[in-house]
Amino acid sequence: MTNKGGISASPLPKAGNVQQPVSNSRLKIACSNCNLRELCLPVNLSMGEIRQLDAISHLKRSYVRGDYLYRSGGKFQSLYAIYRGSFKTQVLHEDGREQVTGFQMIGEIIGLDAICTEHHACDAVALENSEVCELPFNKLEALSRELPSLQRHLHKIMSREIVRDQGIMLLLGSMRAEERLAVFLLSLSQRFAARGLSPTQFQLRMSRQEIGSYLGLKLETVSRAFSHFQNSGLISVHTRSVELIDLPGLRAFIGKQH
């Protein structure tokens, strides 16, 4: 209950019920007995090696909805493993346009975009009450020189981010509005399932506006797509609570011509 996030990778292995409340988040806790360990460290590390990770990570304070974990342009120090809650990342264009580039949930790593310039390339904003585990990057790099399996793990996390982004490019570049939403819902479903939560019933943590920004659509279009899925019997939706009624039907919907 008083544990701490380590280094995440998704797609994630089953991790049992990891969504227990954290009673005292200021406590310094160890990766070695974190209940996110199977989520964050699917790596063959010995107990001794995990203790080395413990030594470099800290549990940070809570964030409430709207709080910034970091801001675009800010100096890069650390990666963050999400221990509780969820975040969105967004890039802002000088003309005021904004694009949500991702929604991150428990066990995922955030901040990789900042490595190349040592400054954050996007904002990270809490979508709900959240806690993160801070991983100072210099120390992480040093440790990964010692531990090849940690090094490989770090590379995989970054590579996975690249693959994920390419998937979104495919979505944005070639899918129609309702297909985009179907892909989005199925992706959420998978990620909840990987965390031992229901793949068919969940609460959205983001607004229609935020979903739209992520999917390259206006909020009204997102809303219409939700309604259409509901009228087709594929889902049941009531503002932010969603039930996926016909998963195969949703999957089949993707790629269908008009």
The least CB distance from residue 214 to its own copies, in Å, is: 8
Please give the residues from 58 up to 117 whose contact with its own copies meets the rule CB under 8 A. Answer: 91, 93-95, 97-99, 101, 112-117
Stretch near DNA under the rule CB under 7 A, chosen from 48-56, 93-101, 119-127, 205-213: 205-213
Could you give the C-alpha distances from 212 to 141, 145, 177, 217, 254, in angstroms and in order? 36, 41, 10, 4, 18
**Using CB under 8 A, which of 38, 77, 129, 160 touches its own copies?**
160
Could you give the C-alpha distances from 34 to 22, 31, 54, 181, 238, in angstroms and in order? 11, 5, 10, 34, 35
203 binds, among its own copies, DNA, none (CB under 5 to 8 A by kind): none
Please say whether the beta carbons of 135 and 40 come within 8 A: no
Please give the residues from 222 up to 241 whose contact with DNA meets the rule CB under 7 A. Answer: 222-224, 226-227, 237-240
The least CB distance from residue 2 to DNA, in Å, is: 28
- Does residue 216 belong to the site contacting DNA (CB under 7 A)? yes
- Does residue 249 belong to the site contacting its own copies (CB under 8 A)? no
Could you give the C-alpha distances from 218 to 8, 103, 128, in angstroms and in order? 32, 17, 23
- Does residue 86 belong to the site contacting DNA (CB under 7 A)? no
CB nearer DNA, residue 11 or residue 233: 233
**Percent of residues in the chain assigned helix, strand, coil, to nearest 5:** 40, 20, 40
Could you give the C-alpha distances from 92 to 71, 89, 126, in angstroms and in order? 11, 10, 17
Report which of 137, 129, 68, 105 is spatially closest to residue 202, judged by C-alpha positions. Answer: 105
Q: Which residues contact 111 (CB under 8 A, 6 or more apart)?
A: 70, 76, 78, 79, 80, 120, 124
Fill in the per-residue mask, 157 to 196: x = in contact with DNA (CB under 7 A), - = not in contact. -------------------xxx------------------
**Using CB under 8 A, which of 20, 159, 227, 241 touches its own copies?**
159
Q: Which residues contact 55 (CB under 8 A, 6 or more apart)?
A: none
- Does residue 207 belong to the site contacting DNA (CB under 7 A)? yes
Tell me: cis bond preceding 11? Omega within 30 of 0 counts: yes
**Using CB under 7 A, which of 141, 146, 220, 243 touches DNA?**
220
Q: Which residues of this protein are in contact with its own copies, per CB under 8 A?
A: 9, 91, 93-95, 97-99, 101, 112-117, 121-122, 141-142, 144-145, 148, 151-152, 154-163, 165-170, 172-175, 213-216, 254-255
Q: Which residues of this protein are in contact with DNA, per CB under 7 A?
A: 176-178, 207-209, 216-224, 226-227, 237-240, 258
